[in-house]
Amino acid sequence: MNLPITTILAFLPELGTSVLVVLLLATLFVKGKAHTFIQWCVPGALLLLMVAARLIPSGAVNTFAHASFVVDQVTVLGRMLLMLSGAAIVLFALVTKRFPREFFVLVLLSLLGGLVAIGAQEMLLLYVAIELLSFPGYILVAFGKDKRVSVEAAVKYLLFGVVATAMLLYGFALLIGSCGDTTFSGIAQCVANSPSSESILLVPFALILLGLGFKIGTVPAQAWLPDTYTGAPVEVTGFLASVGKISILLVLFRLFGVSLLGTFQKGALLIIVLGVTTLVFGTTAALFQKNFRRLLAYSGIGHVGFMMCLFPLGMVGFQAFSWYLISYIVATIGIFAYLTFSSLSFDQDSIEAHQGRIKSNPQLGISVVVLLLSMAGLPPLLGFWGKFGGAVSVMRDYPVPAGWLLAGALLVVSVVSFFYYLSVIRQLISSTENSSTQPKKECFSVSLLSYIAIGAAVFLVVGGIVGEQILTLFGVG
Amino acid sequence: MGFLSGLLLFPVVGVVLLTLLPARFSRITALLVSLLTFIGTVVLLFSFNTTITTLQFEELYQWIPSLGIGFHVGVDHLSILLVVLSSFLSVLAIGASYGVEKNLKAYYVCFLFLLATLLGVFVAHDLFLFYVFWELSLFPLYVIIALWGGERRVYAAIKMFLYTLFGSIFLLIGIILLSVLVQPHTFDLPTIISLRDTIPLQFQLLIVVLFSIGFAVKLPLVPVHTWLPDAHVEAPTAGSMLLAGVLLKMGGYGFLRLVFGLFPQAAVVIAFPLFVIGLVNIVYGAFLALAQSDLKKLVAYSSISHMGFVVIGLASLQDIGVQGALFQMIAHGITSPALFFVVGVLYHRTHSRDIKFYGGIATVMPVFSVLFALTAFASLGLPGLIGFIGEFATLAGGFIAYGWWVVAGGAGVFLAGMYMLKMVQGVLWGKVADGCKGLKDLTRTEVLVLVPLVVLMFIGGIAPMLLFKYIQPGVALLVQLYL
């Protein structure tokens, strides 16, 4: 086979990640200190690959391998965000030194799965990529096996995950079977050409939605998520909340927002109903949480619900969706950097434990407040642009009364989220200081974590002020 | 960058400066920055051409072109005085913060930040920008109440935040809806005004109702007023001063510009209901004030009553009424911070807000008592002081428009006399109460805060034309829409 160099270059992020996986695998077998050097190189390499992902021209490999993989705006955005969060998670683990060498291999493998999934244009490739994404996850969650809740979390994640994968596979099989084609474009054509089978197609459609939805905690498959978030080691939770969500959200977007868009009205309705339910559920449940990570889990469910409502808009809503996704992921990375930082000196689970953070470490405290406010959507932070842009798109582009109602509902529910984010902020800015929050002596690598959180906050502020250029930065537009 | 955006940016620069300097310089830095901002706004006021009705000091930059959002600022007759008032009160509020001891840096950062957002609200001529500043002003106030407030500060702060947030979400929905309804989609206010006739009346009505909910919470109108007394009681004195002095005016200003100034056809429909609610505000607020024994609560409810005059003035849609409403906003922006400050002065000395605790202050603190009495008289609407003009003009406007309904508003004036005199009598006259013996009279700082306000009460009362000259042409233009 004759591969032009541009095609190879277009796969640079995936290839680069594979090389890193091989290198990290090799470190399992070397003695001495060599492995730390390679491990410390990984975040830097991932960030370089992120830059490379931005520079690769869109549409470069549309015809390669029967067009089963595409590089477009969605892929570029996904690649960049995945690289960014992958680098952050690897750094977290390097700083805390809680994990064996295998941890890094697993993270990178999963990252590779995500990278392939977001560009896949074909059911089989997508399925394999999703498996590659999820399998290391099952192991990663179980890393904190010394804690009881951790084991519970791992088992729950595994069992739910397997059932969800089965549903996903069943859905894929039904679609492929009824259409006789595995490519998205072929399936879209088949759905469009046989409108009589619409209600039959609802079954595979729902199965796929449920199977993928499980991994990001959409209702009704959300039950595992808070437990796993609290039970898993904090770095792994950060991994699930960033890498896992980016990949699956973009896969969902590609499936229902790009490939199958406009072919299937009932499917669009199903997504919106699921999205709103998820948003309402996540937001309501988050109101009652005392545990920081549980709160993040439920609020994350809410954010996912909001983003899902934008899928049926297709590329029209992509701008708003990207705003939302970028701000959410950056804020998540920042908050988990903070939580990892805190986990070094105290048990960071209960919200009260974070009392008076702003006093003991002002820069970090203010940054976390900014991160939370961005998630809540205070203008003009970047998080607000996602909600605002989303509401504008929904109002403009859905049919009139429904779109208006939906946009209104999205905004009103988003306001509720201020309530629980404020409850955390209240503790952070409280002037009575929790004695245990006094950080231990910080070496450089530990303060790196607080720099990540501060950097994320600065990004959200600056991003909120410049607004549109942030999208250009990620190749959207 | 023009003068106006420089003025907006200046307090933000001050915020950066504050974070860099050690805490012992915080107070003086904040004072200087706010004072310079105030001087800037005064320059703005004097170089403002009162004869032309277009936007002045206008600046327009693209922000998010794909959504039709721009950074569009400018001042006109409706906003110029409120801009000056915001910076003026910020100086006084920062001056009045001498009692704050903990977290000085953060405290003054909040105030300078608040100042920037308040200026932003009044100069924004892009709906999105307006909303951003509107929302952003909430957070510093939330922190001010939640950190430096009284005993139930956390509850009060959250209540304030969520109430206004729920109100402003309707505002946001309305703003987005409005941008969706005009072609091409834009958030630029002058463009929208020029396109308003293309929007069907029922949608205009919908937007007017959505906006009104947002502004009503801020103003606040009965029955969404309950956050205000809590916020005031728990807020530190300086926070109360700005809350009553400027933040409530944001609601009135919103009604003026984005309800009555934007959709005349739809606003006519809600004018009368709004007028009635305004009357309810006046009377209900006054009765509530009358029933209070807590000084701060009394002043807070009197604010609700006084903001009712603003509403009836606006809803009258008469020249004199709308002018009066704007004047009343300024007047209340001068009297109510003064009232909150005098109550704060007392509280600082005795740590009590109960009227029954006080008595005979006049003999112990003579200078204070004179200023206190003058402030109370200005607030209750004594002719010759600033409060009278606004109340008179709004009632006159209401009478021309709706007739004898305004008698209820007149009753409000009478009730104001009752509760204000009750306060003055209970605190100043009589035998010196046990807790009040040996209290020190005003310090120099306190005199410096209070005297400018009292002087303005006289100026506004004796020579209201000085203020009306800035208001009149803009209001004339607005009222023309309703002829």
**What Rg value do the Cα atoms of chain B yield, rounded?**
21
How far apart, in whole angstroms, are the C-alpha atoms of residue B455 and residue A195?
79
Which pLDDT belongs to residue A297?
A: 93
Q: Are B336 and B306 in contact (CB under 8 A)?
A: yes
DSSP string of A129-175, one letter each residue = HHHHHHHHHHHHHGGGTTSHHHHHHHHHHHHHHHHHHHHHHHHHHHH
Decide: B146 and B153 in contact? Cβ < 8 Å: yes
Secondary structure of residue B74 in the 3-state scheme: strand
Q: What is the pLDDT of residue A442?
A: 60
Q: CB B136 to CB A396 under 8 A?
A: no
Which whole number is the average pLDDT over B224-246? 89
* pLDDT given at position A283: 92
CA pair distance B134, B165, nearest whole angstrom: 10
For residue B392 the two structure tokens come to 């008179």
- Chain B residues with CB-CB distance to A388 below 8 A: 128, 172, 176
Q: Which residues 6+ apart lie within 8 Å of B47 measured at CB?
A: none
Task: Report d(CA B97, CA B107) in Å as an integer.
Answer: 9
Listed by number, the residues of chain B in 22-81 with a beta carbon closer than 8 Å to a beta carbon of chain A are 63-67, 69
Record the tokens describing residue B483, joined without a space: 């002829």
- The Cβ-side half-sphere exposure at A229, using a 13 Å CA radius, reads 28
CA distance A154 to B279: 63
Inform me whether the pLDDT recorded for B200 exceeds 60.
Answer: yes
pLDDT tens digits, B71-121? 999 999 899 999 999 999 999 999 888 888 888 888 899 999 999 999 999
> Tokens at residue B366, please?
């003579």
Q: Evaluate whether ipTM surpasses 0.95.
A: no
The minimum CA-CA distance between A114 and chain B, rounded to whole Å, is 31
Best CA proximity match to B69, nearest among B194, B178, B169: B178
A–B interface: beta-carbon pairs under 8 A: 69
pLDDT mean over B289-304: 90
Q: What are phi and psi of B70, to 5 degrees?
A: -130, 165
Q: Which residues contact B62 (CB under 8 A, 6 or more apart)?
A: B70, B71
Q: Tell me, what's the pLDDT at B349?
A: 86
Mean pLDDT over residues B21-45, rounded? 90
The DSSP code sequence of A380-426 is TSHHHHHHHHHHHHHHHHS-HHHHHHHHHHHHHHHHHHHHHHHHHHH
Report pLDDT for A62. Answer: 60
Measured CA to CA in angstroms, residue A179 lies from A123, A254, B343 at distances of 12, 19, 78
Among chain B residues, the shortest Cα distance to A392 is held by: B176
Angle (deg, nearest 10), helices A102-119 and A34-55: 10
Q: What pLDDT is stored for residue B366 in this prediction?
A: 87
Report the interhelical angle of A224-231 vs A148-179 (nearest 10°). Answer: 140
Burial of A101 (0-12, 13-18, 19+ CB in 10 A): middle
Which chain A residues touch B if contact means CB-CB below 8 Å? 319, 358-359, 373, 378-380, 388-389, 391-392, 395-396, 404, 407-408, 411-412, 414-415, 418-419, 422, 426, 429-431, 467-468, 477
Residue A113: per-residue pLDDT: 95
CA distance B11 to B115: 7
pLDDT of residue A284: 92
Distance CA B265, CA A79 (A): 52
Q: Tell me the three state secondary structure of residue B308.
A: helix
DSSP state of B365: -
Specify the pLDDT at position B51.
86
**A152/A156 Cα distance (integer angstroms):** 6
Q: Who's near B187: CB < 8 A, 6+ residues apart?
A: B67, B68, B69, B70, B126, B127, B128, B129, B175, B179
- Is-contact A167 A130, C-beta < 8 A? no
A-chain residues within 8 Å CB-CB of B158?
419, 422, 426
Min Cα–Cα distance to chain B from A242, Å: 27
Nearest CB to A426; choose among B128, B132, B154:
B154
Instruction: Say if residues A305 and A275 touch (Cβ distance below 8 Å).
Output: yes
Res B335: pLDDT: 93
Query: In the prediction, which pLDDT does A440 show?
Result: 54
CB proximity list for A136: less than 8 A, separation 6 or greater = A106, A107, A109, A110, A113
**Local mean pLDDT, 10-residue blocks, chain A (477 residues):** 73 92 89 83 93 80 71 91 95 88 92 93 92 92 78 87 91 88 86 72 87 88 86 91 93 87 78 92 91 92 93 89 94 93 81 80 88 90 91 87 87 88 85 58 76 94 88 85
* Least confident segment among A74-78, B165-169, B451-455: B165-169
